[in-house]
């Protein structure tokens, strides 16, 4: 049961938190904006305010349950934390977000930081391009 995640994170189990967690767990799209989550809640008949969605997501982030990503564009997106760290590729055409992890890049980042006299704590890497997937509805000819 998902309520365990909430309890483990030290968060009181409430209906809004459960519903939001459920959406993050079951949605097709793994990367959702607060607005998108809010709309899904409305669609499923929940009366949960947008402010609560933002508040809960911020708490989830602090608790390590979700990651917040700042892609190009103004809205942040949130994804469920599923263990491993990874970076992202975003399609400029269709907006699809894919995940990847590259050991070489990770290692070089640490080395470069060290060379510059930094103790690296975190990083943000997003690649932007056009996906060549034949299923992409916006694929350029």
Partner DNA sequence: GTTCAGATGATTAAGATTCTCATTTCTATT
Partner DNA sequence: AATAGAAATGAGAATCTTAATCATCTGAAC
Q: Which residues pair with 98 in a beta bridge?
A: 89
Angle at 113 between CA 127 and CA 108, to 5 degrees: 55
- Residue 4 vs 104, nearer CB to DNA: 4
- For helices 34-43 and 50-63, give the axis angle rounded to 10 degrees: 120
Question: Is the C-alpha dihedral spanning 9, 12, 18, 19 positive or negative?
Answer: negative
Contacts to DNA by CB under 7 A: 11-17, 33-35, 47-52, 54-56, 58, 74-76
Lookup: tokens for 119: 């103790």
- Residue 48 vs 91, nearer CB to DNA: 48
Residue 33, binding choice from a copy of itself, DNA, none, Cβ under 5 to 8 Å by partner class: DNA
Q: Does 132 bind a copy of itself (CB under 8 A)?
A: yes
43-102 residues near a copy of itself, rule: CB under 8 A:
70, 72, 89, 91-92, 98, 100, 102
């Amino acid at each position: 049961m998902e309520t365990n995640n909430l309890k483990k994170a030290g968060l009181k189990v409430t209906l809004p938190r459960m519903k939001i967690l459920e959406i993050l767990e079951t949605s097709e799209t793994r990367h959702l904006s607060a607005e998108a989550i809010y709309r899904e809640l409305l669609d499923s008949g929940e009366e949960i305010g947008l402010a609560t969605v933002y508040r809960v997501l911020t708490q989830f982030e602090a608790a390590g349950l979700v990651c917040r990503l700042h892609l190009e564009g103004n809205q942040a997106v949130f994804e469920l934390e599923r263990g491993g760290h990874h970076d992202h590729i975003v399609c400029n055409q269709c907006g699809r977000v894919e995940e990847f992890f590259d050991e070489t890049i990770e290692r070089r980042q640490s080395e470069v930081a060290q060379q510059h006299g930094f103790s690296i704590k975190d990083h943000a890497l997003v690649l932007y391009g056009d996906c060549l997937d034949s299923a992409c509805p916006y694929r350029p000819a």
